Chains A and B, each alone.
Chain A
Amino acid sequence: MIPINLIRQYKFCPRIVYYNLLTNIKPIFPRQVSLGNEYHDLQNEMLKSRKFKKFNIDFNEIISDKYFEDGDLNICGKVDLAFLCDDEIIPIEFKHIEKKPSYSHVLQLVGYGLLLEEEYQKKFTKAFIVYSNNMKFHKIDITYKHKKDFFEIIKSIEKIVRNDILPNSDANESKCIQCEYLNFCNDRF
């Protein structure tokens, strides 16, 4: 099953997906990554005391930090947070930087939404990305195109797994220089 967090990695460079799924390399991540993880943990801790009034959503239940998988969709992942409403589910992701979320970030959220949609059989039309400690957020209206693009990436990842051969990459120098797999690729510049 494909972990949803690989969507962003795939958009960054398809080879990362290969290294992640098909080799046992355990990379040493740079400091920013652990900062991101710390932020995530902190948010999850703080969640317990939140009321989420700012979102103006009439929810029945909150799902937090819960793992889901779906055999038919062939995807899995841990949902940061989601509102379970009468007729819809709304996934929420935390980001530790303020700038506008990238498309790959949005697609990742689409993956979590699709998992929840299947699990709870409720519609999925919007999502939030929270980017600050005092709950500032971006609202994203999910379209057909989002879902189509998401499934296209899943198909490409499935192909990488099926082929079991290091894929080509057009990642440029600025990406590769910060990549923990640079020495394993060894063909970049």
Chain B
Amino acid sequence: MKHIIVNNYGMFLGLKSQRLTIKQDGSIKNEIALNRIKTIQVLSRGISLSSDLINSCSQRGIKIFFNTFNSFSALHTLYEHKSVMVRKYQFEKCELIEGLELARTLIIGKLKNQRATLLYSSRGFENEFKHNVIEKFDKSISQLKNKKDISKDFILGIEGVSASYYFEYLKSMELLPRSFKYRTKRHSEEITNIALNYGYAILFNFIYKACINAGLEPYYGVLHSVRSAKPSLILDIMEEYRSFVVDRNVIKLRSKLSKTKAENFDKIKKELATNILKTLSKKYKYNHRKLTLESIIQRQVYKVSGYFCSQNKYKSYIFRW
């Protein structure tokens, strides 16, 4: 099963006997059977799609995503709206202590995975700085674990402080390009931030898809503020995976990124997207089985919906470094 990424201006995506055809300048570049496709991600402007293709994709559950730096949209069938009960329980639980407990678990998972990324990326060297940062992470994790009267502010406070240690460490150890000074979420003109934001946009698509498949309401979360137009549940769930799926791949590309000007990011984005998709399609251990990371994420999101419905506990997926 494949994720198709298209990012060349002027491409045309059509349908021919239940096969996706990709054309450029009038000639067919590729043909793929629809029953082998998971998603189509349109990551550039100026790409056209046929309505027959869109219709067939929606019936087959192939979601089509459109991402540019400042917009996001997805096409999927209205039919696949799943359980109303899941949404009902989600709305109820998000307002109760269960919602806060889920937020706590997600951020503990995030910190553990950030810690693993730091250890993995700097496995060659030992120094006091590394030691201190890891200690700080351990302290934050145990503070979060042991806090009795947990609140959103407390969780966000710890998360924010840890994020600043994390990026400070990556910067100081030169695990990111020198141009990186601090983390900017939007409209950045610095190449590392552009790469991170681009990678998170791809991850966002996967989490969005997993939430829709699990019947969850993407705009009603447990930690990020709930307001219209903010997909807070997606942002909450993404926390666990950002460092493993995106940051590690940006770290791996640091020397290429260092040599590329921000305005030429287009030259490198295909490689970054391909690496992220490779990470998502690689198999990892999960409950005594090996599953692709994408399937693991989907199972974890099913567990979130099970948690809202009081069917199971939720445990973060922790990556081994």
Most chain B CB inside 10 Å of its own CB: which residue of A163, A165, A166, A188: A165
Residues of B near A46 (CB, < 8 A) are none
Closest Cβ of chain B to A64, distance in Å, is 33
Given A183-B38, A183-B62, A187-B298: A22 and B82 interface contact (C-beta under 8 Å) = yes
In the complex, whether B215 has a CB less than 8 A from a CB of chain A is: yes
Residues of B near A23 (CB, < 8 A) are 79-82
What band does the interface of chain B fall in when counting residues whose beta carbon is under 8 Å from A? 35 or more
In the complex, whether A182 has a CB less than 8 A from a CB of chain B is: yes
Residues of B near A33 (CB, < 8 A) are none
Given A22-B83, A23-B79, A189-B295: A165 and B60 interface contact (C-beta under 8 Å) = no
Say yes or no: A164 contacts B84, CB within 8 Å: yes
In the complex, whether A27 has a CB less than 8 A from a CB of chain B is: yes
Q: Which residue of B lies closest to A23 (CB)?
A: B82
Chain A binding surface, main DSSP class:
loop
Alpha-carbon distance A123/B1, docked complex (angstroms): 50
Mask for B5-24, Cβ within 8 A of A = 1, else 0?
A: 00000000000001000000
Say yes or no: B209 contacts A186, CB within 8 Å: yes
Residues of B near A165 (CB, < 8 A) are 83, 85-86, 215, 305-306, 309, 311
In the complex, whether A25 has a CB less than 8 A from a CB of chain B is: yes
Q: Which residue of A lies closest to B283 (CB)?
A: A189
In the complex, whether A56 has a CB less than 8 A from a CB of chain B is: no
Mask for B287-309, Cβ within 8 A of A = 1, else 0?
A: 00001101110110010011001
Alpha-carbon distance A23/B59, docked complex (angstroms): 13
Closest Cβ of chain B to A187, distance in Å, is 4
A residues 171-189 near B (Cβ < 8 Å) are 180-189
Most chain A CB inside 10 Å of its own CB: which residue of B80, B82, B214, B291: B82
Say yes or no: B79 contacts A24, CB within 8 Å: yes
In the complex, whether A97 has a CB less than 8 A from a CB of chain B is: no
Interface residues on chain A, number (Cβ under 8 Å) = 22
Say yes or no: B291 contacts A26, CB within 8 Å: no
CB within 8 A of A186: which of B81, B85, B294, B311?
A: B294
Q: Which residue of A lies closest to B62 (CB)?
A: A183
In the complex, whether B213 has a CB less than 8 A from a CB of chain A is: yes
Say yes or no: A166 contacts B210, CB within 8 Å: no
Residues of B near A180 (CB, < 8 A) are 60
Given A166-B215, A166-B302: A186 and B82 interface contact (C-beta under 8 Å) = no
In the complex, whether B67 has a CB less than 8 A from a CB of chain A is: no
Chain B binding surface, main DSSP class:
helix
Say yes or no: A184 contacts B213, CB within 8 Å: yes
A residues 142-189 near B (Cβ < 8 Å) are 163-166, 180-189
Say yes or no: B83 contacts A186, CB within 8 Å: no
B residues 66-93 near A (Cβ < 8 Å) are 77, 79-86
Residues of A near B59 (CB, < 8 A) are 26-28
Alpha-carbon distance A26/B213, docked complex (angstroms): 15
Residues of A near B292 (CB, < 8 A) are 189
Say yes or no: A184 contacts B84, CB within 8 Å: no
B residues 183-216 near A (Cβ < 8 Å) are 209-210, 213-215
In the complex, whether B231 has a CB less than 8 A from a CB of chain A is: no
Alpha-carbon distance A16/B154, docked complex (angstroms): 43
CB within 8 A of A164: which of B79, B85, B294?
A: B85
B residues 250-273 near A (Cβ < 8 Å) are none
Say yes or no: A184 contacts B61, CB within 8 Å: yes
Residues of B near A164 (CB, < 8 A) are 83-86
Given A166-B215, A187-B295: A182 and B77 interface contact (C-beta under 8 Å) = no
Residues of B near A183 (CB, < 8 A) are 1, 38, 60-62
Say yes or no: A166 contacts B83, CB within 8 Å: yes
Q: A27-B59, A166-B215 are in contact. List 4 more A-B contacts (CB 8 A).
A: A165-B86, A166-B302, A186-B38, A187-B302
13 pairs from A and B in contact (CB 8 Å cutoff):
A22-B83, A23-B80, A24-B79, A27-B59, A28-B60, A163-B85, A165-B86, A165-B215, A166-B305, A182-B1, A185-B213, A186-B209, A187-B299
Pick the 5 closest A-B CB pairs, nearest first: A183-B61, A187-B298, A24-B79, A164-B85, A184-B61
Interface residues of A (CB under 8 A from B): 22-28, 30, 163-166, 180-189
